[in-house]
């Protein structure tokens, strides 16, 4: 990954925002490295847009500090922040054609006509819209509008680019295509990017790091693979990937589920109540004869099997009534030992895949 | 056996190339007839209250005072200077009033569009309130305020701003003030509605891309409010052309507008043919203006104006 020379780090400290008396952002701290692709991921209403609006300068925070490369910008008016933004509905100017939309930021900066034409041409090239400069905005498809919005946000080489769910209006195929293109574009230009989405798969596909937001706070900030492998809270574990939880207890330096000892690879946490995270694809069906040392075994009753062609999903119920889900590929050895619904099954979970999180 | 085969062959032959074309065509025709039947009451109404009177008006305009068939009623417009003067006055008043409405109405609509919802709806009531009072009453009220010994002149003299009363009523300025007041809501309401539809994200995008508040207004808000402004201007202008009460009362006989001319011709001189011709000319001019605006707006929509 190349870092653009103009890319700058962002440091947010103690950001507070209330609408009336409702707190929307609470003591939020976040550092974005220069040239990084950072995603704010969270459910609807978690304050992602609000944070982006505060970064862009459209919403005034109640407290906090935002430093961009050392300069405090929290009171800088939006047009002086030099931050590019891609809006969720694109916000293209309907009374201008594609060329004038993209040339707009250059015009504001007094760039000469010849250079403007050249840079707009280059931006159009970059987003693969060569030759569409004269098109009216309403003659473009959703995907093309998306590209124009993107070109407009990067043509003036801003220090930072913000994107608020830019792909949510596109259909699935185009969305996945654009994810890869956006990622490639970021690799090429290396601008500091803050990206907002509520789609965990999109976040994992695109980001260098992900900040998981919940109720106006950042629950966890990590690389996608660490976030998936080592969630720190129940919220993160359930929001990223699928999970079932069972309650476990830590006492005397070991972990217990009911009267059974649980093996963990990580150090045993302090005494107290925890939840064990069970990812469907980390569980496997055990034949009764298999040795089980170092493997946590969960005995349950199979309630349903759903074939999905390449894979299958088993639903089982533990003795205490909790649901378990297991997903595996349809290999003949697995299918051979598949019990029928209603029969007892044993699910195995390796110690290094055993994750404990604090109960919310 | 032989008969059966023949029937089957006939059926097969019909199903092949034909495929119910005839039945479907009949069905479509029946459906449009049914739609026409549903529309007929309103079509009849339109015919009875618009087409028939206008046709009658046109018919009347083709007869002179003696009842003879002639084009004299139209020839008169070109022969008599007073008609041309009335025509010019009418357009002059319409231009001035429309201009005054734009100057007053645009900032008002802009302010309304920027207010929070509640405050905006309260202010809108004040804009609409005058609609509930008759034009006649409002015009007389302006007369009381503007006349030589009216409120404004006596205040200004009491304050020592002026020594001689200003002539505000019974002339062109009185007409313009009165008509502007009455027509302002017709400009503000469509303009406000169109300003409300401007996407705030577009304005934010403008600022985000480096345009300050003034540049954002000039390059984004104003162009996007133009369609609303245009429809307001058309409504006000067209209403001006046919305005009667206010110029008649506030003009002091000095401002002769087209509608007043019609009134004189029909009730004073009882020349229905000439009055009808005046009406036809006003109608044609108005329709031509509307067509022109439509064409300009259409041209705008297809992007002729868009690349500046
Ligand atoms: N202008 C506003 N006035 C009042 N409440 C708001 C406003 N904007 C957002 N909110 C509230 O703030 C919370 C966070 O909103 P938002 O930042 O849009 O969340 P997200 O983008 O993560 O879905 C929501 O509960 C929303 O209702
Ligand atoms: Mg949002």
- Label residue B26 by pLDDT band (50, 70, 90): very high
Is some CB atom of chain B closer than 8 A to the CB atom of A166? no
Chain B residues close to A56, C-beta within 8 Å? 204, 208
More confident residue, B1 or A67: A67
Chain B residues close to A54, C-beta within 8 Å? none
More confident residue, A6 or A123: A123
Long-range CB contacts (< 8 A, 24+ apart) of B39-48? Answer: none
Is some CB atom of chain A closer than 8 A to the CB atom of B210? yes
Pair A27, A21: CB distance under 8 Å:
no
Taking the C-alpha atoms of residue A302 and residue A290, their distance in angstroms, rounded to an integer, is 19
Query: Looking at the structure, do residues A101 and A163 belong to the same domain, yes or no?
Result: yes
CATH number for the domain including A14? 3.40.50.300
Mean pLDDT of B58-62: 91
Please name the residue whose Cα sits nearest to atom 21 of ligand 1: A49
- In this predicted structure, what is the pLDDT of residue B299? 62
Is some CB atom of chain B closer than 8 A to the CB atom of A156? yes
Taking the C-alpha atoms of residue A117 and residue A107, their distance in angstroms, rounded to an integer, is 11
Domain end marker among A182, A211, A234: A234
Cα distances (angstroms) measured from residue B115 to each of A154, B120, B192, B195, B220: 33, 5, 11, 12, 19
Query: Looking at the structure, do residues A143 and A229 belong to the same domain, yes or no?
Result: yes
Taking the C-alpha atoms of residue A254 and residue A277, their distance in angstroms, rounded to an integer, is 17
B211–A79 CB contact, under 8 Å: yes
Taking all residues of chain A, what is their mean pLDDT, rounded to a whole number? Answer: 91
Query: Looking at the structure, do residues A276 and A199 belong to the same domain, yes or no?
Result: no
Shortest distance between the Cα of A90 and any Cα of chain B, in A, equals 8
Segments in chain A forming alpha helices (H): 48-56, 98-108, 113-126, 142-154, 172-189, 200-206, 224-229, 234-239, 332-336
CA atoms within 13 A on the CB side of A323: 11
Query: Looking at the structure, do residues A149 and A290 belong to the same domain, yes or no?
Result: no
Predicted confidence (pLDDT) at residue A3 exceeds the cutoff of 80: no
Please name the residue whose Cα sits nearest to atom 13 of ligand 1: A45
- Label residue B80 by pLDDT band (50, 70, 90): confident
Query: Looking at the structure, do residues A187 and A268 belong to the same domain, yes or no?
Result: no
Shortest distance between the Cα of A47 and any Cα of chain B, in A, equals 18
Query: Looking at the structure, do residues A162 and A73 belong to the same domain, yes or no?
Result: yes
Does residue A239 form part of some domain? no
Query: Looking at the structure, do residues A344 and A226 belong to the same domain, yes or no?
Result: no
In terms of residue numbers, what domain contains A281?
Answer: 245-357
Pair A155, A102: CB distance under 8 Å:
yes
Ligand 1 mutation pick, A23, A39, A44, A45, max ligand atoms within 8 A of CB: A45
Chain A residues close to B303, C-beta within 8 Å? 97, 136
Predicted confidence (pLDDT) at residue B8 exceeds the cutoff of 90: no
Report the Cα A91 to chain-centroid distance in Å: 23
Predicted confidence (pLDDT) at residue B113 exceeds the cutoff of 60: yes
B208–A82 CB contact, under 8 Å: no
Taking the C-alpha atoms of residue A137 and residue A97, their distance in angstroms, rounded to an integer, is 6
Q: Which of B199, B204, B209 lies nearest to residue A105, judging by beta carbons?
A: B209
A58–B303 CB contact, under 8 Å: no
Does residue A4 form part of some domain? no
Predicted confidence (pLDDT) at residue B302 exceeds the cutoff of 60: no
- In this predicted structure, what is the pLDDT of residue B267? 87
Tens-place pLDDT, residues A247-266 = 999 988 888 888 888 888 88
Q: Separation of A60 CA from ligand 2 center, angstroms?
A: 16
Number of domains in chain A: 2
Predicted confidence (pLDDT) at residue B21 exceeds the cutoff of 80: yes
Does residue A318 form part of some domain? yes
Query: Looking at the structure, do residues A229 and A249 belong to the same domain, yes or no?
Result: no
Chain B residues close to A82, C-beta within 8 Å? 210
What ipTM goes with this model? Answer: 0.83
Shortest distance between the Cα of B306 and any Cα of chain A, in A, equals 6
Taking the C-alpha atoms of residue A280 and residue A262, their distance in angstroms, rounded to an integer, is 18
Q: What is the DSSP string of A299-320?
A: EEEEEEEEE-SSEEEEEEEETT
* Polymer length of chain A: 360
pLDDT-wise least confident of A226-230, A335-339, B183-187, B193-197: A335-339
Domain end marker among A177, A204, A234: A234
Predicted confidence (pLDDT) at residue B5 exceeds the cutoff of 80: no
Predicted confidence (pLDDT) at residue B15 exceeds the cutoff of 80: no
Query: Looking at the structure, do residues A188 and A229 belong to the same domain, yes or no?
Result: yes
Mean pLDDT of A140-168: 92
Report the Cα A150 to chain-centroid distance in Å: 20
Please name the residue whose Cα sits nearest to atom 4 of ligand 1: A19
Q: Is A289 helix (H, G, I), strand (E, B) or coil?
A: coil
Mean pLDDT of B43-69: 90
Predicted confidence (pLDDT) at residue B203 exceeds the cutoff of 80: yes
Predicted confidence (pLDDT) at residue A286 exceeds the cutoff of 90: no
A85–B205 CB contact, under 8 Å: yes
Chain B residues close to A156, C-beta within 8 Å? 209-210
Does residue A3 form part of some domain? no
Please name the residue whose Cα sits nearest to atom 26 of ligand 1: A45
- In this predicted structure, what is the pLDDT of residue A27? 94
- In this predicted structure, what is the pLDDT of residue B306? 40
Mean pLDDT of A348-359: 89
Query: Looking at the structure, do residues A96 and A206 belong to the same domain, yes or no?
Result: yes
Nearest-5° Cα angle at A20, A16 to A24: 40
CATH number for the domain including A346? 2.40.50.140
CA atoms within 13 A on the CB side of B293: 18
Taking the C-alpha atoms of residue A221 and residue A33, their distance in angstroms, rounded to an integer, is 13
- In this predicted structure, what is the pLDDT of residue B16? 57
Topology adopted by domain B88-257: MetI-like fold (1.10.3720)
The percentage of residues in chain B with a pLDDT greater than 90, rounded to a whole number, is 60
pLDDT-wise least confident of A47-61, B145-159, B202-216: B145-159
Tens-place pLDDT, residues A33-53 = 999 999 999 999 999 999 999
Q: Which of B284, B105, B99 is nearest to B176 (CA)?
A: B99
Mean pLDDT of B270-289: 90
Does residue A124 form part of some domain? yes
More confident residue, A335 or A139: A139
- In this predicted structure, what is the pLDDT of residue B308? 34
CA atoms within 13 A on the CB side of A132: 22
Mean pLDDT of A340-358: 90
Domain end marker among A234, A256, A274: A234
Mean pLDDT of B277-281: 92
Is some CB atom of chain A closer than 8 A to the CB atom of B197? no
More confident residue, A26 or B78: A26
Domain range annotation of chain B: 88-257
The closest ligand to the CA of A50 turns out to be: 1
Q: Which of B204, B210, B307 lies nearest to residue A97, judging by beta carbons?
A: B307
Per-residue buried b or exposed e for B107-136, using 16+ beta carbons within 10 Å of the residue's own CB: ebbbebbeeeeeeeeeebeebeeeeeeebe
Query: Looking at the structure, do residues A46 and A66 belong to the same domain, yes or no?
Result: yes
Answer left, alpha or beta for residue A312, where phi above 0 means left and psi between -120 and 50 means alpha. beta
């Amino acid at each position: 990954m190349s870092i653009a020379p103009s890319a700058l780090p962002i440091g947010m400290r103690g950001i507070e925002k209330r609408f009336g008396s409702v707190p929307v952002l609470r003591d939020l701290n976040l550092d974005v490295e220069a040239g990084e692709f950072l995603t704010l991921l969270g459910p609807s209403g978690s304050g992602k847009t609000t944070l982006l609006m505060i970064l862009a300068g459209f919403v005034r925070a109640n407290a906090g500090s935002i430093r961009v490369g050392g300069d405090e910008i929290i009171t800088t008016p939006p047009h002086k922040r030099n931050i590019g933004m891609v809006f969720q509905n694109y916000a293209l100017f309907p009374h201008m054609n594609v060329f004038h939309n993209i040339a707009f930021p250059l015009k504001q900066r007094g760039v000469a006509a010849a250079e403007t034409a050249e840079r707009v041409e280059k931006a159009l090239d970059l987003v693969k819209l060569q030759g569409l400069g004269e098109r009216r905005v309403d003659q473009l498809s959703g995907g093309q509008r998306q590209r124009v919005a993107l070109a407009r946000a990067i043509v003036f080489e801003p220090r930072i680019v913000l994107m608020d769910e830019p792909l949510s209006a596109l259909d699935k195929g185009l969305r996945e295509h654009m994810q890869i293109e956006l990622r490639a574009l970021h690799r090429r230009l290396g601008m500091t990017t803050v990206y907002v989405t509520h789609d965990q798969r999109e976040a994992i596909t695109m980001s260098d790091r992900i900040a998981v937001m919940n109720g106006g706070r950042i629950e966890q900030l990590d690389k996608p693979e660490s976030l998936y492998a080592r969630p720190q809270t129940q919220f993160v574990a359930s929001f990223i990937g699928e999970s079932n939880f069972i309650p476990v207890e830590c006492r005397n330096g070991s972990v217990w589920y009911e009267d059974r000892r649980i093996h963990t690879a990580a150090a045993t946490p302090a005494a107290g109540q925890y939840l064990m995270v069970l990812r469907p694809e980390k569980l496997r069906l055990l034949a009764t004869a298999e040795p089980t040392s170092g493997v946590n075994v969960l005995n349950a009753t199979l309630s349903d099997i759903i074939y999905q062609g390449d894979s299958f999903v088993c639903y089982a119920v533990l003795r205490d009534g909790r649901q378990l889900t297991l997903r595996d590929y349809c290999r003949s050895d697995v299918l051979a030992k598949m019990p029928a619904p209603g029969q007892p099954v044993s699910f195995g979970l390796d110690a290094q895949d055993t994750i404990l999180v604090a109960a919310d | 056996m032989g008969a059966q085969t023949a029937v089957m062959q006939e059926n097969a032959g019909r199903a092949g190339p034909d495929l119910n074309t005839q039945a479907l065509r009949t069905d479509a025709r029946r459906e449009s007839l049914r739609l026409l039947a549903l529309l007929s009451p309103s079509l009849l109404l339109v015919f009875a209250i618009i087409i028939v009177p206008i046709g009658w008006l046109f018919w009347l305009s083709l007869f002179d005072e003696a009842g003879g068939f002639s084009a004299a009623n139209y020839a008169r417009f070109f022969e008599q200077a007073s008609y041309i003067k009335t025509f010019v006055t009418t357009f002059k008043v319409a231009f001035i009033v429309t201009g005054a409405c734009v100057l007053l109405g645009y900032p008002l609509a802009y302010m309304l569009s920027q207010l929070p919802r509640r405050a905006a709806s309260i202010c809108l009531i004040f804009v609409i309130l005058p609609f509930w009072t008759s034009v006649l009453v409002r015009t007389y009220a302006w007369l009381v305020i503007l006349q030589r010994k009216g409120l404004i002149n006596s205040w200004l003299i009491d304050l020592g701003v002026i020594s001689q009363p200003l002539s505000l009523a019974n002339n062109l300025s009185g007409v313009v003030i009165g008509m502007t007041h009455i027509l302002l809501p017709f400009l503000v309401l469509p303009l406000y509605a169109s300003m409300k539809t401007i996407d705030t994200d577009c304005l934010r995008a403008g600022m985000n891309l480096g345009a300050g508040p003034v540049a954002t207004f000039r390059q984004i808000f104003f162009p996007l409010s133009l369609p609303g402004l245009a429809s307001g201007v058309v409504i006000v202008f067209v209403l001006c052309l046919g305005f009667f009460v206010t110029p008649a009362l506030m003009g002091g006989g000095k401002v002769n507008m087209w509608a007043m001319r019609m009134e004189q011709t029909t009730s004073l001189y009882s020349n229905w043919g000439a009055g009808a011709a005046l009406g036809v000319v006003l109608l044609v001019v108005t329709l031509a203006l509307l067509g022109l605006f439509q064409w300009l707006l259409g041209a705008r929509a297809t992007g002729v104006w868009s690349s500046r």
